[in-house]
Amino acid sequence: MAAFSDRQASILSYCRIDDPTPEDLTMLEGFYADAVSYMRSAGVAEPEAGSARLTQYNTCILALVLDAWDNRGTQTADKAFADNPAFRRRLNQLKLTEPVRSESDTEG
């Protein structure tokens, strides 16, 4: 997994955060770790550098982080979270193109 510090600039840019506080960065780092975990649990491992799938993967990670950032407050009935169809299509495409792992794979 790429470290948060390696992706921090792109995350801040995508979320349109110009001057983050240390608390903001801590929260974003947690959102990033959660996004990576979500993708892994969905059956999508981080693609190798240079892979054509890496851009789609990074876009999904950014979308998950932004969603968590935008919805970090309390959810009420009148502010129900909307599903993101573009994200869902990307995630499905990544899942369908995930490389097959051998039966001897012990990573998870």
Query: Quick check: 69 and 16 in contact, CB under 8 A?
Result: no
Let me know if residue 8 belongs to a domain. Answer: yes
What integer pLDDT is reported at residue 65 of this predicted model? Answer: 95
Note the pLDDT tens digit of each residue in 76-85. Answer: 666 656 677 7
Note the pLDDT tens digit of each residue in 30-41. Answer: 999 999 999 998
| Domains of the chain: total | 1
**Alpha carbon distance 13, 104 (integer Å):** 40
Let me know if residue 14 belongs to a domain. Answer: yes
What integer pLDDT is reported at residue 77 of this predicted model? Answer: 62
Query: Quick check: 7 and 32 in contact, CB under 8 A?
Result: yes
Query: Quick check: 28 and 11 in contact, CB under 8 A?
Result: yes
Let me know if residue 9 belongs to a domain. Answer: yes
Please tell me the pTM assigned to this model: 0.73
Q: Which residues constitute the domain of residue 26? A: 4-71+84-96
Let me know if residue 79 belongs to a domain. Answer: no
Q: What is the DSSP secondary structure assignment for residue 64, as one 8-state letter?
A: H
44: its two tokens: 């999508």
